[in-house]
Each structure stands twice: as structure tokens, then as C-alpha cells.
Amino acid sequence: MNRGEKIMQEGLVEKVGVVGLGAQGWLIAFRCASAHKVTYVYDVSNDSLKKALNNIQDVLSTYVNKGLLTREQAEEKYQKIHVCSTLAECVGDADIVIEAVPENLALKQKIWQEIDVLAPQRTLLATNSSSMCSSKIGADVSRKDRMFNINLGAPDSMGPPELDPVEFMYNSETSENTKFIAKKFLHSLQCIIFETHKEIQGFSFNRVWRAVKKECLFLWANGYSSPEMIDRAWMLEFHTTFGPFALMDQVGLDVVRDIEQNYYFETGDESDKPPKELEQMVAKGHLGVKTGKGFYQYPNPVYKEAEWLSKKCY
């Protein structure tokens, strides 16, 4: 039995290619390596690559310091990551390739077409896009029965891995065998799967988050309330450690802008267009955690202060 037949019959995924190492890409690579998958990583930006590897090392060090891993176990996981100098090297022996490049349809389509040519026939092809469907990205890809969407949890989700949510969505051409392999793979990452049974822009739960995000941006941009007020109310009401604006900072405000722009391109509805105030923040380089300034200042945002929530007014 060759490797492709083994994967088809047993759903056993051992090698993963991760293309794009931004806010989501490096976390995907981390999760795959933590689950003992041989993980090939590639990014056109050396800066993004270095930052991703540093992030992974920092998380592993945190786990060691907390006694969750030994140094030997952390090193074993890190050694599962193989840095690739070309896209061909990244996808050439992968069982699954997960694309996590910026939310730009033309870019994603170009990358998918290149992967389709370079990857073995057995390889499944996934996008981590939260605003574009695999059928649209893979419009000119031959392996239409092996395409799907995933959307892993929030970028700062570093809790117990068995509690990590993942949204999983396929399209009308995705084969039953691909669904079987994909779900077995996601279970092997110790994720809880939330399945969207019919393709729709933005998955299911992510559309709920998007509705919250859209309304928060509207209230802020039109002067009805402030990020601090809304986040404090959210944190007090739902007993969370951060609110919607802090989460947008963690995602990256450029990514938030791009996602909102994609909804606008899809619907043509002016209410879906990202507010100009958000565009202005992105133009200034105020992108959130990754640049040190967004709706809050980093690395020590006020919402992490012990008495911030208990203030009588803001």
C-alpha cells in the first residue's frame, strides 16, 4: 500500500505544509508540530518567518516554565518544524497543505494554483481564510474534491489544546473521503470541530463574531461609544479576559480591514464597507499587538490592569 492509499483508507496525516506565517499561520504550524506532525513552513517574508519561529519558541518556553512540558519535549516539538526556502519544498511531500496568506483573493488563487501543480496528487488543500470560500479560491485548481476551509481559534488562544475550537467547512465538490481525512487530522490536533455543512462566506460561528465586530466598529466610528467602554461592558457581562476591540488588536487591524473589505466586495452593501476611521488607523500603521498600537497600547494594554474593570467610570 503506497502512502496515498494509506491516507485515503486510514486518514493518517503525518506531513503538513503551512504556507504563510502571519498571525494564524505560525499558530497552525505550532499546533501541527505539537501534535507530532512533520511540519514544513514557508513564507516569502524572512521577517515573518523569523517572527513566527520566535513566537513558537516563546510559547514552548512558557510551557516549560509552567511545567507543562520538559525542555526535551519542547525541543522535540520544535524539531518537527522544517523551514523551507521555496514553495515547492514546502508542499512537495505534504499530505495536507494549509494556506494562511493575507486575505486577498487574487493572491490566494495564485498560491493555490502553484500548490496544485507542485503538490502530490494525494495532497489535500485547505485555506485558513475566514472570509473567502474554498470553491472561490480554488476556481482554477484541479483537485476540487480535496479542498476545504478551516478556521482555528483566536490568535492569542494558548489555553489547553483540547479546548481549541476549529471551524471546518467544505464545498459541494469536496469528497466524503476528504471530509473524513480532514476531520481525523483536526481531531489529531486536539481541536473541537464545529462543522458548517453548506459553504457560506465566513463559516458559522465566525459570522456571529463578525456581526459583533461590525456593530462594534459602527458604534466606535460614529462616536456612539469607545472601545474601552464596549470592552469593559463585554468583559463584565461575559466574564472574559478581553473584549471585541482587544480581540481585533490581536487579530491585526489590517486583517480586520481586509476581511470587512471582502464582505463588502461580496455584497456591495455600504454597511459592510470598513469604516474610514479603521482605514486611517491601518494607514498610520496602528495595527494592534504586532505594531505596539491599535485600539490599545502594547505590550501592556490597560485592559490587563487589575483594577481596570472596577473603575466606576472611564
Is 70 exceeded by the pLDDT of residue 159? Answer: no
What per-residue confidence (pLDDT) applies to 164? 79
Peptide bond into 299 cis (omega under 30): yes
* % residues pLDDT > 90 (the chain): 82
174-195: per-residue pLDDT in tens?
999 999 999 999 999 988 999 9
Q: What is the rounded distance in angstroms from the CA atom of residue 290 to the CA atom of residue 217?
A: 20
Does the pTM exceed 0.75?
yes
What per-residue confidence (pLDDT) applies to 155? 41
Backbone angles phi, psi at 114, to 5 degrees: -70, -45
Round the average pLDDT of the chain to a whole number and report it: 92
Is 50 exceeded by the pLDDT of residue 102? Answer: yes
Residue closest to 28 by CA, chosen among 91, 74, 97, 85: 97
Q: Is residue 114 a contact partner of residue 82, using CB atoms and an 8 Å limit?
A: no
A 10 A CB-CB count for 304 gives 13
What per-residue confidence (pLDDT) applies to 157? 41
Q: What is the rounded distance in angstroms from the CA atom of residue 286 to the CA atom of residue 111?
A: 28
Q: Is residue 64 a contact partner of residue 70, using CB atoms and an 8 Å limit?
A: yes
A 10 A CB-CB count for 164 gives 19
255-295: per-residue pLDDT in tens?
999 999 999 998 999 999 999 999 999 999 999 999 999 99
Residue closest to 111 by CA, chosen among 228, 128, 194: 128
Mean per-residue pLDDT, 41-55: 94
- SS3 of 167, please? strand
Backbone angles phi, psi at 177, to 5 degrees: -65, -40
Residue closest to 178 by CA, chosen among 295, 45, 7: 7
Residue closest to 158 by CA, chosen among 19, 63, 271: 63
Q: What is the 3-state secondary structure (H, E, C) of 78-90?
A: HCCEEECCCHHHH
∠ CA(270), CA(276), CA(282), 5° rounding? 125
Q: Long-range contacts of range 3-11, CB-CB < 8 Å, 24 or more positions apart?
A: 3/95, 3/122, 4/120, 4/121, 4/122, 7/95, 7/122, 7/181, 8/122, 8/177, 8/181, 11/180, 11/181, 11/184, 11/185
* % residues pLDDT > 70 (the chain): 93
Per-residue pLDDT band for 162 (boundaries 50, 70, 90) equals low
Is 70 exceeded by the pLDDT of residue 312? Answer: no
Q: Is residue 292 a contact partner of residue 299, using CB atoms and an 8 Å limit?
A: yes
193-202: per-residue pLDDT in tens?
999 999 999 9
Tracing cell 472570509 back to the chain, one arrives at 131
A 10 A CB-CB count for 240 gives 13
Per-residue pLDDT band for 38 (boundaries 50, 70, 90) equals very high
- SS3 of 43, please? coil
Mean per-residue pLDDT, 81-108: 96
Mean per-residue pLDDT, 21-48: 93
Is 50 exceeded by the pLDDT of residue 156? Answer: no
